Amino acid sequence: MNKNQNRVYETASNVLYIFITNLIIFSILSCHKKQPVQEGLNISIIPYDSATIKPTLISIPEIEYPDLPRRAGIEGTAKIKCVIDTDGLVIDVKLIKSSANDILDSAAISACKFLKFSPGEFNNRKIRVSKEVSVKFYDFLNGKIKIVE
């Protein structure tokens, strides 16, 4: 087998690996169950800056730097909008700004679903709050990740 054939096989192998990794991430994300929303309460979502007591991050899940981007030396920051319920759990997430890598974006979205905040309040009443957080994938050699409020 010559060098060109080796490169073709290596490229095909990498493409297959990326496809399978994305398929697994998609499967995990589609299986995640959101917290049930209690109907009839008609609780609106308040912007973070409008809360009199702002929710603060109290628990971060262990996040693993995805293997493929880490091995490829890919770093980036994804900005995620989280909707925080009256008990401090994240009930909805939305990608606001991509890290420029789908795998990192999926990992950031998945991690944000399991963040825990102190509840936000407005006029002494617990409220749902929308808040943006950034998930930074950096120092790929050591696989470091940072969540910034």
With vertex at residue 146, the alpha carbon angle to CA 140 and CA 149, rounded to the nearest 5 degrees, is: 150
Report the pLDDT value the prediction gives residue 38, as an integer from 0 to 100. 39
How far is residue 140's CA from residue 45's CA, in Å, rounded to a whole number? Answer: 36
Question: What is the predicted pLDDT for the residue at 6?
Answer: 61
> Across the chain, what does the average pLDDT equal?
82
For domain 32-148, give the CATH superfamily.
TonB (3.30.2420.10)
CA angle 30, 34, 40 (to 5 degrees): 140
Percent of the chain surpassing pLDDT 90:
55
Using CA atoms, how far apart are residues 141 and 59, in angstroms rounded to an integer? 25
Q: Are strands 57-59 and 116-117 parallel, antiparallel or unpaired?
A: antiparallel
More confident site: 95 or 43: 95
Cβ(130)–Cβ(112) below 8 Å: no
Contact 104, 68 (CB under 8 A): no
Average pLDDT for 69-90: 95
